[in-house]
Amino acid sequence: MEFSTSMTSQAVSPSMSARQRLSSNLKRLRKQRGLSQERLAEMADFHRTYVSQLERCVTNISIDGLERLASALGIDVMDLLQPDDINP
C-alpha cells in the first residue's frame, strides 16, 4: 500500500517522531488529570514502571496498549499522537 506524501505531511509533525509525540502527550494528559505514573499504569492494566518508560521514550507500545491508555485517560487514541502545536 502506498501513501501520498501530501497525506502524511499534514498528519505528522516533522520535528517530533510518533514516539516523542506520545511521550509528550501522555505526560501532559496524565498530569492534567492529577494521576501518578503508577496509578495510570494500574488503570490501564500495565506494569507499574511501563508509563515511565513510555514517557521517557524507552519502549514502544502496541495499538492495543494505546487503546488501553486512551481509555484510562478518557480520550481518543488520536489525542495521544497529535503534534504539540495541535494540543492546547
Instruction: Dump pLDDT digits (tens) for 7-26.
Output: 333 344 457 899 999 999 99
- CATH code, 17-80: 1.10.260.40
Instruction: Dump pLDDT digits (tens) for 24-80.
Output: 999 999 999 999 999 999 999 999 999 999 999 999 999 999 999 999 999 999 999
Helices (H), 4-76: 5-11, 18-32, 37-43, 50-55, 63-73
- Annotated domain spans of the chain: 17-80
pTM above 0.75?
yes
Phi-psi region for residue 80, left (φ > 0), alpha (ψ -120 to 50) or beta?
Answer: alpha
Instruction: Provide the 10 A C-beta neighbour count for residue 24.
Output: 18
